[in-house]
Amino acid sequence: MSRIGKLPIAIPAGVEVTIENNVVSVKGKHGSLSQEVHSDITVAKEGNEIIVSRPSDDRTHRAQHGLYRALIHNMVVGVSEGYRKEMELVGVGYRATATGQVLELALGYSHAIYIKLPNEVKVEAKSERNKNPLIILTSCDKQLLGQVCAKIRSLRKPEPYKGKGIKFVGEIIRRKSGKSASAK
């Protein structure tokens, strides 16, 4: 049996879960999310736990078992605690400013880049002296937050020679030596 799929999902205090017609809805202090579950997978609420089960050991059932358990767990954690991602802008003259749901980025191009973020994602930009600018994104939806971060990162990926670009805080960029090191 799936190691991830068979684990029960604990429901913390302040989180309300409803299951009807293969749709799991989770509501908490950070928002509300819903996920449609495949008709073969059964989701049941027993006390303060959610249990996901599958009808057989078929390959597709095994895959969906772990998938839907992970998606429901991410929803429960998201509405109770929320998710947070921090991105760092490395490069001379790179700046970020946030006004409402619009993020303005200066990334060394001839023009500024404006990104309109979804309402579920909250953005904050920090700039301190002698430190790289930070973009802090928070949301209850882990999937949407990752997608927004990937979109922002794709505007200027970190390059391996000088390390300039947009990277996650704590991400290690594998550096290459330039052509001067290999000339000898």
Which residues make Cβ contacts (< 8 Å) with residue 13, sequence separation at least 6? none
d(CA 53, CA 41): 6
Q: What are phi and psi of 87, to 5 degrees?
A: -120, 145
Beta-bridge partners for 16 = 27
Spatial contact of 176 and 160, defined as CB atoms under 8 Å apart: yes
Q: Which CATH architecture has domain 83-168?
A: Alpha-Beta Complex (3.90)
pLDDT for the residue numbered 18: 94
Mean pLDDT, consecutive 10-residue stretches, the chain (184 aa), reads: 82 93 93 94 92 92 92 95 95 93 94 95 93 95 96 94 93 86 54
**Residues pairing with 43 in the sheet:** 52
DSSP calls for 26-72: EEETTEEEEEE--TTSEEEEETTEEEEE-SS--HHHHHHHHHHHHHH
How high is the pLDDT of residue 181? 60
pLDDT at 3: 82
121, 148 Cβ separation under 8 angstroms = yes
**SS3 assignment, position 140:** coil
Query: Domain 9-80: which topology?
Result: Outer Surface Protein A; domain 3 (3.90.930)
Span(s) in the chain for CATH 3.90.930.12: 9-80, 83-168
What single DSSP character describes residue 74? H
pLDDT given for residue 178 in this prediction = 80
Given the structure tokens 């913390």, which residue do they identify? 12
Q: What is the pLDDT of residue 83?
A: 96
